[in-house]
Amino acid sequence: MPDPVPSHAGDVRVPGQPTPGRGERILSQRLLLGGLLAAVLAVGTFVLLSLRTKHEEELVWGGDQEGGGPYIYPRPDDPNRVVGFEVELMELLAQRLGLRSRFQQGDWKDLPQLLRRGDIDCIANGYELTDVHQADKLATIPYYVYDLQLVARRGASVRSWDSLTDPPDGRKKKVGVLSLSAAEKYTRDRLGDRAEVIAFDSVALALEKVAEGELDATVQDLPALIFYRDRYPTLRFVGEAVGRGYYVIYVRREDERLRDELNAGLMDLIRTGQLRALYERYGLWNPAQEQLGKVGLGVVEKSEQPGAWEVVRRNLPILVKAAGMTVLLSCLAMPLAIIVGLFVAVGRLYGPRPLRFVLAVYVEVLRGTPLMLQLFTIYFVLPSFGLKVPAFMAGVLGLAINYSAYEAEIYRAGLRAIPVGQLEAALALGMSRWQALRRVVIPQAVRIVIPPVTNDFIALFKDTSVCSVITITELTKQYNILANSTGAYLELAAVTAILYLLMSYPLSLLARRLEGRGPRAVV
């Protein structure tokens, strides 16, 4: 049988069979493409309609599990489900609205943005009633009356609030608070600069640091302290509760009907005693809750808010100071990363086999695990083994160790780019292996890797934001604090972006200059 004869590109014609015409082929291709497009549109329309129908049948509320109990936290026997008094509260309210309750996870500080985008219908996660929140959102009547409580170690010198501002030993006390909370604002306002106030992203982490002795005290909402009290038996309440406030549910300003329906549901739960029964199950009921449902409870007079750009003018020095922390972290961490990375690269290429294996594991582990987890391990886990690292030093070490793995791979590629003949020629001239690497190979490799190393340096400026998990207030963290406390999200974001650009662009200019002055590779 003769071989198939190609008729034209893309087709194979077998003798004896009719050849389809070009018009028929184009028509069939168009029909196929049209059929696929119609199928995609049909499936997409079905999915959108399904999602819309599902959304209309649900009350989607936002919260953050990281805050922990008793608000919202993973169920111990089924981590895929969440429990907590706010979870049950929203289920009861959704039932009264004829809807299903659906929890949407979000970062606590970003919940207002999720609400504004329309991703959630309301916020219910220990959000306090404040005039700043009410500036762009509607609040329901209070569903819980909270107090703030000072907590310290048993036997410690902290006996009252006054002992924090006038310590006998003269050392400035360290007080932990939940980041962006009413407890943080109250503590900073009351203590001022007479004590060091450190913000955490979790109540449990702040309590842990007090128990370890790294913090002198913490100020937290009473519901969270009641929930975690048994976990930390070495801690005690100091003085009376202070700073009374109210938890409310926030909705968008245009959702007045939803706000009114939620208010009616809350009043019904209060009148029937279901709300009290819910709080008693979690040990949260106290005499303060008797105020719930009273007319005028929780009314906060809206103070006159300054304009957005006036907010920027007032807070620009604070952002610049935070940018200084970002620069300091980056400029200390990157040189360490470069030095360690260079030695790791040389060891992987020219070291003995056991050393190459160990260094390969080092690189892959650091590249394969998140920077946040590495920082968390250095700052929160190592103290369990008796090694306490201060937050700033932990940030520098974490960034340097993480980036050293990436620098090692960059330098390894640069070293491989140098012809092996140059190393052999240097050895033939009587140089030792280390001298040949130091005087011939490495200088050329350094020039080759300047662009990618500079890119990593620029990326490091932005990755310093991860250090906020270990209580370091750098530029991004400071932006979050100011934006959430003032509501000037866009304006402060623009200023923050400009500051990052001012920090990173000079590096690009420096890299170009170094490339022009660097040693030329010998081929």
pLDDT digit string (tens) for 56-82?
589 999 999 988 889 999 988 888 899
Q: Would residue 11 count as lying in a domain?
A: no
**pLDDT of amino acid 433:** 84
Q: Would residue 4 count as lying in a domain?
A: no
Least confident of 51-55, 66-70, 194-198, 243-247: 51-55
* Same domain assignment for residues 223 and 312: no
Residue 290 or 514, more confident = 290
* Same domain assignment for residues 237 and 313: no
pLDDT of 410 above 90: yes
**pLDDT of amino acid 138:** 95
* Same domain assignment for residues 412 and 504: yes
User: 230, 247, 264: which is the final residue of a domain?
Assistant: 247
Output the six-digit token pair for 417: 């780019």
Please count the structural domains in the chain. 2
Average pLDDT score over residue span 466-472: 89
Q: Would residue 403 count as lying in a domain?
A: yes
**pLDDT of amino acid 43:** 63
The confidence band for 27, taking pLDDT boundaries of 50, 70 and 90, is: low
* Same domain assignment for residues 216 and 323: no
* Same domain assignment for residues 238 and 312: no
Residue 310 or 94, more confident = 94
**pLDDT of amino acid 173:** 93
Report the alpha-carbon distance of residue 152 to residue 11 in Å, rounded. Answer: 81
* Same domain assignment for residues 226 and 321: no
CATH number of the domain where residue 415 is located: 1.10.3720.10
pLDDT digit string (tens) for 502-521?
998 888 787 777 666 555 54
Mean pLDDT across the chain, nearest whole number? 86
* Same domain assignment for residues 367 and 493: yes
CATH number of the domain where residue 213 is located: 3.40.190.10
* Same domain assignment for residues 382 and 236: no
**pLDDT of amino acid 415:** 92
Least confident of 254-258, 315-319, 433-437: 433-437
Q: Would residue 22 count as lying in a domain?
A: no
Which value, to the nearest 10 degrees, does the dihedral of the CA atoms of residues 475, 477, 478, 483 take? 120
Q: Which residues contact 248 (CB under 8 A, 6 or more apart)?
A: 127, 128, 129, 139, 140, 141, 142, 143, 298
pLDDT of 3 above 90: no
**pLDDT of amino acid 421:** 87
* Same domain assignment for residues 233 and 373: no
Q: Would residue 167 count as lying in a domain?
A: yes
Residue with tokens 């940030």: 395
Q: How far is CA 37 from the centre of its chain?
A: 39
pLDDT digit string (tens) for 125-176?
999 998 888 888 999 999 999 999 999 999 888 999 999 987 766 688 999 9
* Same domain assignment for residues 368 and 510: yes
* Same domain assignment for residues 317 and 427: yes
Instruction: Provide the domain limits for residue 194.
Output: 144-247
User: What share of the chain has pLDDT > 90, as a percent?
Assistant: 58
pLDDT of 428 above 90: no
Angle between helices 450-463 and 308-350 (to 10 degrees): 130
* Same domain assignment for residues 212 and 312: no
Q: Would residue 418 count as lying in a domain?
A: yes
User: 247, 275, 292: which is the final residue of a domain?
Assistant: 247
User: 392 forms bridges with which residues in the sheet?
Assistant: none
Read off the pTM.
0.75
Q: 100-105 and 144-153 as β-strands: parallel, antiparallel, unpaired?
A: unpaired
Report the alpha-carbon distance of residue 173 to residue 175 in Å, rounded. Answer: 6
**pLDDT of amino acid 504:** 86
Q: Would residue 440 count as lying in a domain?
A: yes
**pLDDT of amino acid 103:** 96
Least confident of 173-177, 272-276, 293-297: 293-297
Q: Would residue 70 count as lying in a domain?
A: no
pLDDT digit string (tens) for 207-251?
999 999 999 999 999 999 999 999 999 999 999 999 999 999 999
Residue 36 or 464, more confident = 464
**pLDDT of amino acid 96:** 94
User: 210, 226, 247: which is the final residue of a domain?
Assistant: 247
**pLDDT of amino acid 54:** 45
